[in-house]
Amino acid sequence: MGLSKVKTRFFCTACGQESPKWLGRCPGCAAWNTLVEEPVAPAVAPGVGVRRRDRSETSAPVHIDQAGVTENLRLATGIAELDRVLGGGLVAGSLTLLAGDPGIGKSTLVLQAAHRLAGQGGRVLYVSGEESVQQIKLRASRLGVTGVDLYLLPETNIEHILAAIRDTAPVWVVVDSIQTVYWAELGSAPGNVAQVRECAARFLGLAKDRGVAITLVGHVTKDGAVAGPRLLEHMVDVVLYLEGERHYPYRVLRGVKNRFGSTNELGIFEMRGDGLVEVLNPSAFFLAERSRGVPGSVVVPCLEGTRPFLVEVQALVVPATFGQARRTVTGMDHHRAVVLAAVLDKKVGLHLGQKDIYVNIAGGLKITEPAADLGVVVAMASGWRNWPVHPETVVVGEVGLTGEVRAVGHMDKRLMEAVKLGFKRCICPQQNRKYLKQETGITVVGVETVMEALQAVVGGNDGQGTG
Ligand code: TYD
Ligand code: MG
């Protein structure tokens, strides 16, 4: 009927949202200029027919009482930081997505993990569509990866990759990256939405079918020319993000989805000349360069997943020079910082309306939990009024719009971490203070409002001196 031979639709390269017509802004994820026109292959409805094709047998319904419970077979890579984020190791038959900015260290991490796993006798197949065997070998030598049961395959055609997996029978397959793999039948370029999605679906099918763990590496893309890994998140079992700032050596591995374990676990690494090295004491690492007792600096006991660590929140408050005051925020949600500044302005009467405010999480770390609110508020007040916070004090609590300080989770873990690092005093929500059971080895001051917290900070300075 139609004039054009190939039917096309528009897809968002960031989230995979489909649209019959071009739109400037994606209705799915609100990103601008991410919709691209792609052919739709009628034979392959997204993800459906494909997954079946790799199954060797059809499955019959099983009565719930007859259903066998098998403990997931875990393949511990031996890299403790990675295994913790995975929930104990890679699960056989699972599909994992490892996403991150180009150049952040994804290939390095998987190669190191492959080395460890293969060193324990598990065969690993490393498929690379980005580097030649020589390049991989060169990097591997630099990382000391040698003499283990590790196979390299420079290939981008999915049929060849699937065949190689069947022939080699590895326990773990790494596909670096999913954006380079293509399925010829789709007739479109590698890296477009349909290719990425369909190829991932075929890897998923094979993983379930053969019980092999498969990890897809995905580059986070900025321009929208290549489909991003976000559109695979709902499809895979585990989603890991490797994050960090280019200018800092540390890298954070964050679990954002895990069908076999808890999410929000963090693994922390340092990028060195010989690869990624596990950071076993992140608090000491993040506080290493802290200036003690300077206004605008507050240490906060944060918790990501099950793991507590201390971070330094910094704030600089200066009179605005031109017209509108600026708020520049790095390492936390911008909107949240603006709200906290408004609370200080309105509820404490520190007039910040005409001040430029800069907030930074030292070391380039990103914090997401509201438990850091009070630390941010205290840092702003401290920065503006030149009240240094005592260097042996930590501050934690969620702040509400009326200036109230709300309880946070896992206070005991946060306190233990603070004690471990030699802190003597913790300003925390009164609600948490009330329910602390044992002797904690640290003076815990409970507060109900931001105002009380600021008084406790200043009071603490009088009592302890400013170091
Ligand atoms: P890479 O793993 O190639 O990143 P990705 O696969 O996420 O694109 O790592 C890229 C950067 O890491 C590169 O700029 C150099 C640096 N690097 C080190 O500092 N030390 C090392 O041992 C290795 C292998 C890489
Ligand atoms: Mg790479």
- Per residue in 399-436, pLDDT tens? 999 999 999 999 998 998 899 889 999 999 999 998 88
Q: Which ligand is nearest to the CA of 273?
A: 1
Q: Is 106 in the pocket of ligand 1 (CB under 6 A)?
A: yes
Q: Which ligand is nearest to the CA of 270?
A: 1
What pTM was estimated for this model as a whole?
Answer: 0.78
**Is residue 59 reached through a cis peptide bond, with omega within 30 degrees of 0 on the bond before it?**
no
With a cut of 50, say whether residue 47 has pLDDT above it: no
Q: Is 331 in the pocket of ligand 1 (CB under 6 A)?
A: no
3-state secondary structure 162-201: HHHHHHHCCCEEEEECHHHCECHHHCCCCCCHHHHHHHHH
With a cut of 50, say whether residue 51 has pLDDT above it: no
Identify the weakest region by mean pLDDT among 47-51, 352-356, 387-391. 47-51
Confidence of residue 329 (pLDDT cuts 50, 70, 90): very high
Nearest CA to ligand 1 atom 9: 105
Nearest CA to ligand 1 atom 13: 103
Cα of 198 vs centre of ligand 2, distance in Å, is 21
With a cut of 70, say whether residue 452 has pLDDT above it: yes
The pLDDT of residue 448 is 97
Give me the count of residues in the chain.
467
Cα of 107 vs centre of ligand 1, distance in Å, is 7
- Average pLDDT, integer, range 39-56: 49
Q: Is 205 in the pocket of ligand 1 (CB under 6 A)?
A: no
Nearest CA to ligand 1 atom 16: 105
Sheet holding 250-258, edge to edge: 150-154, 124-128, 172-176, 213-219, 95-100, 238-243, 250-258, 266-272, 275-278
